[in-house]
Amino acid sequence: MEKVENIKPNYYNNSQLSPFDVIDDWELDFYSGSIVKYLKRAGKKPGEEKLKDLAKIRTYVDKLIELEQNKNHR
């Protein structure tokens, strides 16, 4: 598979840990990993307001809550 060079844009590179590092180390699922990704870049992605990424975080948190509620109602 061909490696994509811009998979870690600058707004993810301003610390020692990337979202990939945290997601892998904590063994996060897709929804939790997405929360980490959007939290890391909130307010840093050119042309996007911080509020947009915060709203995305809320969407993924709501999904995790829904999944947990459904698991407890089985």
**Within 10 A of 48 (CB to CB), how many other CB atoms are there?**
14
If the chain, 74 residues long, is cut into consecutive pieces of 10 residues, what is the mean pLDDT of each piece?
Answer: 62 78 95 96 91 97 96 78
| Whole-number pLDDT of residue 69 | 94
pTM above 0.75, yes or no: yes
Dihedral class, residue 48 (left if φ above 0, else alpha if ψ from -120 to 50, else beta): beta
Tokens of 47: 């042309």
| Whole-number pLDDT of residue 63 | 97
Give the closest residue to 26 by CA, choosing from 65, 35, 43.
35
| Whole-number pLDDT of residue 45 | 87
